[in-house]
Amino acid sequence: MNNQLKRTPLNGVHRALGAKMVDFGGWDMPVQYSGIVDEHNTVRNSVGLFDVSHMGEIEIEGPDAIDLTDFVTTNAVRKMKDGQAHYSGLLYEHGGFVDDILVHRVSPARFFLCVNASNQEKDFEHIRNQNRFDCEARFASERYAQLAIQGPRALETAQKSTATDLSGIRYYWFADGEFAGVPARIAHTGYTGEDGFEIYVAPEHAVDVWNAILEAGKPFGIKPCGLGARNTLRLEAKMALYGHEIGASITPFEADLGWIVKMDKGEFTGRAALEKQLKKGVTRKLAGFEMRSRGIARDGYEVSIDGAAAGWVTSGSPSPTLNRNIGLALLPVERAKPGEKIQVTIRNQQVEAETVPTPFYKRTK
Partner 1 sequence: MNYPEDYRYTKEHEWVHLAGDTATVGITFHAQEELGDIVYVDLPKPGQKVEKGKSFGSVESVKAVSDIYAPVSGEVIEVNEGLATAPEKLNEDPHKAAWLIKIRVDGSADFNSLLSAADYQSYIGAEA
Catalog residues that contact partner 1 under the rule CB under 8 A: 20, 31-32, 35-38, 40, 228, 231-232, 294-296, 298, 317-318, 320, 347
Dist CA 313 CA 286 (whole Å)? 9
Residue whose CB is less far from partner 1, 28 or 64? 28
**DSSP H helix total and E strand total for the chain:** 8, 19
Name the minimum Å distance from CB 326 to partner 1: 12
Name the minimum Å distance from CB 270 to partner 1: 33
Residue whose CB is less far from partner 1, 31 or 60? 31
* Residue 15 DSSP SS3: helix
Name the minimum Å distance from CB 336 to partner 1: 26
Peptide bond into 359 cis (omega under 30): yes
Residue whose CB is less far from partner 1, 9 or 295? 295
Q: Are 130 and 269 in contact (CB under 8 A)?
A: yes
Name the minimum Å distance from CB 21 to partner 1: 11
Peptide bond into 183 cis (omega under 30): no
Name the minimum Å distance from CB 105 to partner 1: 36
CA atoms within 13 A on the CB side of 162: 28
Return the amino acid letter for 346: I
Residue whose CB is less far from partner 1, 233 or 239? 233
Residue whose CB is less far from partner 1, 56 or 295? 295
Q: Are 113 and 59 in contact (CB under 8 A)?
A: yes
Rg (CA), the chain: 20
Residue whose CB is less far from partner 1, 42 or 88? 42
Q: Are 209 and 51 in contact (CB under 8 A)?
A: no
Name the minimum Å distance from CB 329 to partner 1: 17
What value, to the nearest 5°, has the Cα angle with vertex 114 and ends 315 and 286? 25
CB proximity list for 156: less than 8 A, separation 6 or greater: 47, 220
Q: Are 277 and 253 in contact (CB under 8 A)?
A: yes
* Nearest residue to 254 via CA among 89, 66, 18, 37: 89
Name the minimum Å distance from CB 309 to partner 1: 21
Name the minimum Å distance from CB 15 to partner 1: 13
Residue whose CB is less far from partner 1, 317 or 355? 317
* Nearest residue to 150 via CA among 199, 201, 116: 199
Name the minimum Å distance from CB 153 to partner 1: 23
* Residue 123 DSSP SS3: helix
Residue whose CB is less far from partner 1, 311 or 318? 318
Q: Which DSSP letter does residue 19 get?
A: P
Dist CA 325 CA 331 (whole Å)? 18
Residue whose CB is less far from partner 1, 41 or 130? 41
